[in-house]
Amino acid sequence: MHASRNMGQKYKLWIIFLHLLIITCSSGSRGRELVGSGTENKILEAISDENHPTLHTEHEHEHVHSHMDPSVMVFFTFKDLKVGKTMEVYFPKRDPATSPKLWPREEADSLPFSLNQLPNLLKVFSYSPSSPQAKAMEDTLRECESKPIKGEEKFCATSLESMLDFTQTILGFTHDLQVFTTSHQTKSSVTFQNYTLENIVEIPASKMVACHTMPYPYTVFYCHSQESENKIYRVGLGGENGDRVEAMVVCHMDTSQWGHSHVSFQVLKVEPGTTSVCHFFPADNLILVQKLQQHSLATM
């Protein structure tokens, strides 16, 4: 398709530009607290090197002892957020070479992003309507068009620029933005294992925007912000195999507005509103908060 070839050309230029940016701004900040000006560059740095979701919808991972898909093993309750606690956690690892790429806003905005345009979009990307990729696109568009729950604002961003615009409407000025991501400190192919919580630091924030990458031919962030109380933590994890992860955790203290079918309730075997729900963030998801003037990190 000519349109996509053209896009490919432009995309190549864009990716060279991105690499320049990344080289310019990556001065070994493995801690993943990306503060200050040049927010876009820092977000790019955070999400560039690892773990973009692919359009693979099949579950490649082995089912260990649980009959549940391990990829949902990211939820736990607040009372388990304790140093020394061991739990099974799934962290997706994906091949950057085959993962969806971030598109510049002009490219993303040149395509419709709506469910009723799906047949046309499938043609643009040359996916047959019966393919798993078509199913993934449909699911993502449907999720993006679903109504937010009470007290929630949500937005699917198809570019970094539109993600920052949305974040600004929620948090106010973005020059004091802090961006947090989960960071893998060791290289390994293990995605599902027992981890022990080694240290827990609360990130103080009055409001947050969380952005989750969605399966789509290019990078789409599902960003949302909830009025109800959330707590943000950076948790040092030690894996059974020696892996080390600096993982971001968000705890939702009030789940009363969540739908009964929310997967976390199935995993934790609890009813909405009866317990807090915490979850680990995969490496390509972002937590954006306003930087607080007074840095008082409380260690638990």
- Residue 243 Cβ, how far from ligand NAG at the closest point, in Å? 12
Tokens 């047949």 -> residue:
119
Phi and psi at residue 102, in whole multiples of 5°?
Answer: -70, 130
- Residue 269 Cβ, how far from ligand NAG at the closest point, in Å? 17
| 29 vs 193 by CB, closer to ligand NAG | 193
| 155 vs 195 by CB, closer to ligand NAG | 195
CB burial string 51-80: b at 16+ within 10 A, e below: bbbbbeeeeeeeeeeeeeebbebbbbeeee
243 binds ligand NAG (CB under 6 A): no
Question: Of the listed pieces 110-118, 124-132, 187-195, 214-222, which binds ligand NAG according to CB under 6 A?
Answer: 187-195
| Site size for ligand NAG (CB under 6 A) | 6
Rounded to whole angstroms, the Cα distance separating 229 from 212 reads 19
| 117 vs 194 by CB, closer to ligand NAG | 194
Question: Of the listed pieces 14-22, 32-40, 191-199, 268-276, which binds ligand NAG according to CB under 6 A?
Answer: 191-199
| 75 vs 166 by CB, closer to ligand NAG | 75
> In the 8-state DSSP scheme, what is residue 4?
H
- Residue 51 Cβ, how far from ligand NAG at the closest point, in Å? 19
> In the 8-state DSSP scheme, what is residue 282?
P
194 binds ligand NAG (CB under 6 A): yes
| 73 vs 160 by CB, closer to ligand NAG | 73
| 88 vs 176 by CB, closer to ligand NAG | 88
Rounded to whole angstroms, the Cα distance separating 124 from 121 reads 5
Question: Of the listed pieces 148-156, 190-198, 231-239, 261-269, which binds ligand NAG according to CB under 6 A?
Answer: 190-198
- Residue 34 Cβ, how far from ligand NAG at the closest point, in Å? 31
Contact characters 41-70, ligand NAG, x per CB under 6 A: -----------------------xx-----
| 66 vs 98 by CB, closer to ligand NAG | 66
269 binds ligand NAG (CB under 6 A): no
Q: How many residues does the chain have?
A: 300
Burial class (CB in 10 A: 0-12, 13-18, 19+), 248: buried
Asked if residues 274 and 253 have their Cβ atoms less than 8 Å apart, the reply is no
Asked if residues 4 and 23 have their Cβ atoms less than 8 Å apart, the reply is no
> In the 8-state DSSP scheme, what is residue 78?
G
3-class secondary-structure state, position 215: coil
Asked if residues 191 and 241 have their Cβ atoms less than 8 Å apart, the reply is no
| 33 vs 88 by CB, closer to ligand NAG | 88
173 contacts: CB under 8 Å, gap ≥ 6: 290
88 binds ligand NAG (CB under 6 A): yes
Residues lying near ligand NAG in the complex (CB under 6 A): 64-65, 88, 192-194
